[in-house]
């Protein structure tokens, strides 16, 4: 397979032009010029309230409606009403939990993991205040994976929801969401997936996964600080609204969006599908294939490149006996994304990134709000892990640069 044209790719991101190496992409990726231009174009030319009859309001309305359509297409949702944009994954999940709890009765059960970011744990944990039992599905200590036989032991006839992550923002391991979802559905419960650490690297196909709820944030997918919640229409119709009392239960998904959407950011998100469309043309030529198929080809190209980046760093780390990789050791793109964490036998995690900073490379350490995982692994005293998180615009030269610095440091 052809390699991605990194010169072309990197030109789309102004922040990449001055040679700084961004290796904290799981914290937030760089933003496409295209997205930033769309924000300013919206604000400077069509910044009015939607829903009025005058020309500019109608134009703004068409922009936002087209954005919702494109976002639905991006994740293969069958209907744009299934996509609720909102300020952050954390906020969207809190909104969802506020609505979902109204469908539960005391004694009902919800299951969360101990390897998620707190965004997909806390809102569900809080349901205990309403008499809901919350159980914890613990990751297996040996292979750091979620096992369905452990889940089986937790599920009962009262289990209503299992909330888990597609990829841990620390471990990088891809969980088999489709299989786990089928397993949960067979036992009569719904799933809520945090796709934040997955979405920058692979195509999300909500219909193929058959998930009930799926959420991620575009500031990690080359766009601005804005997020989307996917909710399957049949559930959305039944979920009680959390918006003003006069917003109808049939008003999908507005009943779950108090404060409405941010228009300029919703519009700006379309810069991401635009970019993928351009990447497709640049690598495979012009043709009339459906956008989802084109995106799939682009993700395939980019993930092969990401696998090489991950391989370079993992091989280097595996060769140092004082380093322990926390997560999947293989670079294979079917099992992991290039979000790589490690600890050092003798050096605290907090002492490593500051020594890399002066070389013009940004990495970081900590628990990354997956605090329960870090505590479970006993890594609190280390200051958490050191994390190097790469995306497709990173280069093998950048990885080599980091490895050279690490070889003196670790």
Is 341 a binding residue for ligand PLP by CB under 6 A? The answer is no
Give the DSSP letter string of 119-187: GGTHHHHGGGGGT-EEEEEPPPTTT----HHHHHHH--TTEEEEEEESB-TTT-BBP-HHHHHHHHHHT
Is 364 a binding residue for ligand PLP by CB under 6 A? The answer is no
Helix (H) or strand (E) holding 191: strand 190-194
Q: Which of 139, 196, 314, 337 binds ligand PLP (CB under 6 A)?
A: 196
Is 89 a binding residue for ligand PLP by CB under 6 A? The answer is yes
Q: CA-CA distance, 15 to 363, in Å (whole number)? A: 16
Fill in the DSSP letter of residue 202: S
Least distance from C-beta 26 to ligand PLP, angstroms? 6
**Contact status, residue 170 vs residue 194, Cβ threshold 8 Å:** no
**Contact status, residue 228 vs residue 86, Cβ threshold 8 Å:** yes
**Binding segment (CB under 6 A) for ligand PLP, from list 45-53, 54-62, 88-96, 182-190:** 88-96
**Contact status, residue 180 vs residue 151, Cβ threshold 8 Å:** yes
Question: What are the CB-based long-range contacts (under 8 Å, 24+) for 174-177?
Answer: 174/198, 174/202, 174/334, 174/335, 174/336, 174/337, 175/145, 175/146, 177/209, 177/211
User: Given the complex with ligand PLP, which of 123 and 241 has the nearer CB atom?
Assistant: 123
Is 114 a binding residue for ligand PLP by CB under 6 A? The answer is no
Is 387 a binding residue for ligand PLP by CB under 6 A? The answer is no
Least distance from C-beta 328 to ligand PLP, angstroms? 16
Q: CA-CA distance, 337 to 309, in Å (whole number)? A: 10
Least distance from C-beta 215 to ligand PLP, angstroms? 8
Q: Which of 77, 119, 190, 391 binds ligand PLP (CB under 6 A)?
A: 119
Residues 22-81 that bind ligand PLP (CB under 6 A): 26
Is 193 a binding residue for ligand PLP by CB under 6 A? The answer is no
Is 217 a binding residue for ligand PLP by CB under 6 A? The answer is yes
Least distance from C-beta 17 to ligand PLP, angstroms? 25
Is 117 a binding residue for ligand PLP by CB under 6 A? The answer is yes
Least distance from C-beta 404 to ligand PLP, angstroms? 28
Where along the sequence are the contacts to ligand PLP (CB under 6 A)?
Answer: 26, 88-90, 117, 119, 169, 194, 196-197, 217, 227
């Amino acid at each position: 397979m052809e390699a991605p044209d990194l010169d072309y790719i990197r030109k789309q991101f102004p922040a990449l032009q001055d040679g700084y190496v961004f290796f904290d992409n799981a914290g937030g990726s760089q933003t496409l010029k295209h997205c930033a231009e769309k924000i300013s174009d919206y604000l400077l030319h069509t910044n009015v309230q939607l829903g009025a009859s005058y020309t500019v309001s109608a134009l703004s309305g068409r922009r936002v409606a087209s954005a919702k359509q494109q976002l639905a297409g991006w994740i293969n949702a069958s209907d744009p009403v299934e996509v609720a944009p909102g300020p952050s994954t954390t906020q969207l999940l809190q909104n969802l939990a506020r609505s979902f709890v109204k469908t539960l009765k005391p004694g009902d059960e919800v299951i969360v993991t101990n390897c998620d970011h707190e965004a997909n744990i806390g809102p569900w944990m809080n349901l205990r205040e309403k008499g809901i039992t919350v159980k914890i599905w613990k990751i297996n200590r040996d292979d750091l994976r979620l096992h369905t036989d452990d889940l089986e032991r937790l599920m009962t006839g009262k289990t209503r929801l299992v909330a888990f992550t597609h990829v841990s923002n620390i471990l990088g391991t891809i969980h088999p969401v489709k299989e786990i979802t089928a397993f949960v559905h067979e036992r009569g419960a719904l799933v809520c997936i945090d796709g934040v650490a997955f979405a920058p690297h692979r195509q999300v196909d909500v219909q193929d996964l058959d998930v009930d709820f799926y959420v991620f944030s575009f500031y990690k997918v080359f766009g601005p600080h804005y997020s989307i919640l996917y909710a399957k229409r049949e559930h959305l119709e039944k979920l009680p609204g959390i918006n003003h009392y006069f917003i109808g239960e049939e008003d999908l998904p507005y009943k779950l969006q108090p404060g409405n959407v941010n228009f300029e950011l919703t519009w700006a998100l379309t810069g991401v599908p635009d970019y993928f469309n351009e990447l497709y043309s640049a690598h495979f030529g012009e043709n009339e294939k459906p956008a989802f198929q084109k995106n799939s080809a682009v993700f395939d190209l980019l993930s092969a490149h990401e696998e090489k980046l991950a391989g370079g760093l993992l091989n280097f780390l595996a060769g140092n006996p004082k380093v322990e990789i926390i997560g999947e050791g293989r670079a294979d793109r079917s099992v992991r994304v290039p979000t790589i964490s490690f600890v050092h036998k003798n050096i605290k995690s907090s002492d490593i990134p500051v020594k890399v900073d002066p070389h013009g490379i940004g990495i970081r350490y900590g628990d990354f709000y997956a605090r329960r995982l870090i505590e479970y692994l006993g890594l609190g005293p280390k200051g958490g892990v050191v994390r190097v998180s790469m995306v497709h615009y990173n280069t093998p030269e950048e990885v080599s640069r980091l490895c050279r610095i690490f070889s003196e440091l670790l």
